[in-house]
Amino acid sequence: MMRDVLFALLMLLVLPVVHYGVRPLVMAGVTMLACAVCEILFSLIQTRSISLSDGSSLVTGMVIAMLMPLNAPLWLPCAAAAFAILVAKMPFGSIGHTPFNPAAAGVAFAALCWPKEMFSYFDPAVSQSIPPYQDFTAVLTHSPAAVLKNGLKPDILPLDMLWGVFAGPLGATGILVIAACGLFLFLKRTARWEITASFLLAATLIAAFFPRIACSPLTSVKYELMSGSLLFCSVFMVTDPVTAPHRMLGRILYGAFAGFLIMMFRRFGAFEQGAAFAVLIANAAAPQIDSLLCGTLRLGDELYDE
């Protein structure tokens, strides 16, 4: 399962590398290394056996890197990785026991501590050299998500956003590639399609009936689904089987709840993107959704027996 997710995430690196050079690879590699080192250090301190063979720390690092701006200093994804592993993952017993998605926790931590660095995006329309390793001063621009947050219509057409050459998180702008990766994960049954479908349906209905800008419902839906990290989150974060409910109906309710939350964070939150916060709140609700469904089923069985 982790190999499938890691393969899909690596495919998301192809377009950024083609457009911007080696720096996306460096950022992903440094973040994965930070996750692995933190997991090893925690295991040594706790005198646990060291095992990175499940690949979960690499997936966490890749997800964090994909949600960073291209121009982010390299210490930023490393700080998010350290929080994800040392606070949100290892204290709970590593993979299979985490109540919250570690990558979402790391990204939320970075957004709260360094919002300026997290939401300042390199302008891909400007031709400038991008050093692979050094921090650099980039020509910045507003992302479509930031423009929507200000109640304005982005100056890029929705059709042009499909190709991924616009300001936004490193791995969240390749719309067509994310869709292809999602299809791959669904066919492999690595990710549950019902979570993504209910998530996107909830976001679509809110975008259509309550648009944030003066435009047609269809245009509002296009901009909302393709801006920010919403689509990336629907494929790679809310589908995490460890933090999602176990029953199919529960997964549908969970996905719809997460989709509702992310739209509420976009409309009322302090930041242009609230996907990580929406995922964490949905994670907290997942056990309650399972318990509610189990209690309803038991009550139904008792009524049937009577």
- Tens digits of residue pLDDT in 148-197: 999 999 999 888 888 888 889 999 999 999 999 999 999 999 999 999 99
Model confidence at 296, pLDDT cuts 50, 70, 90, reads low
What CATH architecture is 2-305?
Answer: Orthogonal Bundle (1.10)
- Are the C-beta atoms of 25 and 68 separated by less than 8 Å? no
Q: What tokens were used for 177?
A: 């590639």
Model confidence at 94, pLDDT cuts 50, 70, 90, reads low
The reported pTM is 0.92
- Segment 210-215 shows an average pLDDT of 92
Model confidence at 1, pLDDT cuts 50, 70, 90, reads confident
pLDDT at 306 over 60: no
- Return the percentage of the chain with pLDDT > 90, whole number: 66
Count of other CB atoms within 10 angstroms of residue 100 = 23
Domain residue ranges in the chain = 2-305
End-to-end C-alpha distance for the chain, whole angstroms:
43
- Residue 131 vs residue 86, higher pLDDT: 86
Residues 6+ apart with CB under 8 A from 264: 274, 278
Strands 121-122 and 140-141: antiparallel
pLDDT, one tens digit per residue, over 188-212 is 999 999 999 999 999 999 999 999 9
